[in-house]
Amino acid sequence: MTETPLLNIPSSNQSENQSNSTVCPDLDDWWDIVYYVGPKYINTVCVIGMLGNVFVLFTYSLHKGPLKKAEIYLMNLAVADLIFLMCLPFWAENISNEFNWPFGRFLCRSISASITLNMYTSIYLLVAVSVDRHLTFVHTLDRREMWSKSMTKGICLLIWFFCILLSIPAFVFRTVKDFPQWNISACTLDFPGPAISWEIAENLVGNVVGFLLPSTAIIFLNFSTIRSLQKTAKERRALGAKGCKSHKGTKATRLIITVVLMFLFCWTPHHFFVFLDILYHAEVIKSCFWGELINFGEQFSYMLAMTNSCINPVIYVFVGKYFRQKALEVLSQFIPCGFPLRWVSFKEMSSNFNMFPVKSSLT
């Protein structure tokens, strides 16, 4: 439900109206940078992200072996990212047109709902992956066997259903609206009641349900897993144990830290500016400075947030030894039979970068 910069428009005039004693500065040069840089960056992320996520689905779908539980979540994550990435060319064109929406009301609503769906689906799938990792590294195998693949698929369906419900308001309240002061027709929210109250409520839901609660769960689960791995490694060192298990546990710890930090790095700035927008609409903070800071911050922070969909194939899949092996096996079906032999050295090299123990369901 949270307002995305896809459909935000510069609000210098709004800032001016809220600060009667201050005339807002002319920032056309800054917006020219947004109009020039934004579409190029967005299209680049779209191309790279589409290739990466299609390759993930291609590998998991064509591989002959059964999917592990975490791979089911990762496939759903790739689908959610693909839905989002397919919307990016429309966003890029919208920015190129200086937020004049040329695609009609239906696409305005459906693309906005798809972007919102990705935001919710991605983070709750990451919660599910974090739970899976937690069970993998912290609990016993017998405990994990209670979590069947059928249950995993059911959880994915529940996540999609829940996130579709959260995306319905974005579809219902979006419309193409004329803004004569900027000479554009923009795809924007049009609430039936007092706009300020609706916008505050909408941003609060996005902040709390779309970020604060799930990110707290992700951080708790992953760092609980890290503590368990560190405790296990310490016990092995105390017993003088050697071998690859301790080394692989350390690698798993590094990957978990990378996953958490990368997610927070990509999404925290966006939700920070959403929170500032709540304060601005509630008139807790005022003046042209805050209005323009929020405007530009929302544009660039959302570009950073969408990058997470581009790098997900890298940070969640490509670092896994067994995914690389699956990818090579799938590719070998379409390349002459000498291919696997020529890539033996790559397979051997990839084992040095394995991030998980042998029984890890992520690799």
What confidence tens digit (pLDDT) does each residue in 44-88 have?
Answer: 999 999 999 998 898 888 888 888 787 888 899 999 999 999 999
What confidence score (pLDDT) does residue 111 get? 93
In which band, very low, low, confident or very high, does the pLDDT at 320 lie, cut at 50, 70 and 90?
low
Region 313-329: mean pLDDT is 71
pLDDT at 341 over 50: no
> Between β-strands 184-189 and 174-179, what pairing exists: parallel, antiparallel or unpaired?
antiparallel
Mean pLDDT across the chain: 78
What confidence score (pLDDT) does residue 92 get? 92
In which band, very low, low, confident or very high, does the pLDDT at 124 lie, cut at 50, 70 and 90?
very high
Distance CA 264, CA 269 (A): 8
What confidence tens digit (pLDDT) does each residue in 147-158 have?
Answer: 677 888 999 999
What single DSSP character describes residue 65?
Answer: S
In the chain, what are the domain boundaries? 12-330+342-351
pLDDT at 270 over 90: yes
Is 206 exposed, middle or buried, given 0-12, 13-18 or 19+ CB atoms closer than 10 A? buried
In which band, very low, low, confident or very high, does the pLDDT at 355 lie, cut at 50, 70 and 90?
very low
Count of helix runs (H) and strand runs (E) in the chain: 13, 2
More confident residue, 342 or 159: 159
Which CATH number describes the domain made up of 12-330+342-351?
1.20.1070.10
In which band, very low, low, confident or very high, does the pLDDT at 268 lie, cut at 50, 70 and 90?
very high
In which band, very low, low, confident or very high, does the pLDDT at 275 lie, cut at 50, 70 and 90?
very high
What confidence score (pLDDT) does residue 161 get? 97
Q: Which of 128-132, 191-195, 264-268 has the lowest mean pLDDT?
A: 191-195
Return left, alpha or beta for 199; rule: phi > 0 is left, psi -120 to 50 is alpha, else beta: alpha
Q: Does the model's pTM come out above 0.85?
A: no
What confidence score (pLDDT) does residue 317 get? 62
SS3 242: coil
Q: Which of 225-234, 262-271, 273-282, 288-297 has the lowest mean pLDDT?
A: 225-234
Region 287-292: mean pLDDT is 82
SS3 174: strand
